[in-house]
Amino acid sequence: MNIVKDHGAERSSVLAMLKPTESVNPMEGDGMRTANRRQFLFVSSALGGSLALSASALGQEPRTGLTEPVVRTAKNQPVATPDGVPHPLDPALKLAYASLNHIRATIHDYTAILIKRERIDGVLGDYEYMGVKVRNRKVQDGRVVVPFSVYMTFLKPASVKGREVIYVENQNDGKLVAHEGGMSGRFLPTVTLDPNGALAMRGQRYPITDLGIENLVVKLIEKGERDRRNGMCQVQFHQGVKVGGRPCTLLTVTHNDRQPYYDFHKAQIFIDSSLNIPVRYCAYDWPKVPGGEPEVIEEYTYQNIRINVGLTDEDFDQNNPKYNF
> Percentage helix, strand, coil, to 5, in the chain?
20, 35, 45
- How confident is residue 84, by pLDDT bands cut at 50, 70 and 90? low
Closest CA to 7 of 62, 68, 57, 73: 62
Q: Would you list the DSSP string of 153-222?
A: EEEESTTTTT-EEEEETT-GGG-EEEE--HHHHTTSPPEEE-TTSHHHHTT-SS-GGG-SHHHHHHHHHH
List pLDDT tens digits, range 217-242. Answer: 999 999 999 999 999 999 999 999 99
pLDDT higher than threshold 60 for residue 106: yes
Model-level pTM? 0.77
Alpha helices by DSSP H, the chain: 30-33, 37-46, 90-106, 182-185, 198-201, 213-230
pLDDT at 152 over 70: yes
| Cα angle 125, 131, 132; round to 5 | 105
Residue 283, pLDDT score: 98
Residues 6 or more apart from 108 whose CB is under 8 A from it?
Answer: 135, 136, 138, 146, 308, 311
Contacts of 225 (CB under 8 A, 6+ apart): 93
Which pLDDT tens digit goes with each residue over 161-173?
999 999 999 999 9
Residue extents of the structural domains in the chain: 2-316
Residue 298: which pLDDT band, with cuts at 50, 70 and 90? very high
Mean pLDDT of the chain: 80
**Confidence bin at 79 (pLDDT 50/70/90):** very low
- Does residue 45 carry a pLDDT above 80? no
Q: Residues near 30 by Cβ (< 8 Å), separated by ≥ 6?
A: 56, 57, 58, 59
Tell the burial category of 307 from Cβ atoms under 10 Å away from its Cβ (0-12, 13-18, 19+): middle
Q: Report the candidate in 84, 67, 66 with the shortest Cα–Cα distance to residue 228.
A: 84
Predicted confidence (pLDDT) at residue 130 exceeds the cutoff of 80: yes
Q: According to the model, what pLDDT value does residue 303 have? A: 97
d(CA 191, CA 177): 6
**pLDDT tens by residue, 9-20:** 333 333 333 233
> 237-285 pLDDT, tens per residue?
999 999 999 999 999 999 999 999 999 999 999 999 999 999 999 999 9
pLDDT at 197 over 50: yes
Q: Is domain 2-316 annotated with CATH 2.50.20.10?
A: yes
Residue pair 278/271 in contact (Cβ under 8 Å)? The answer is yes
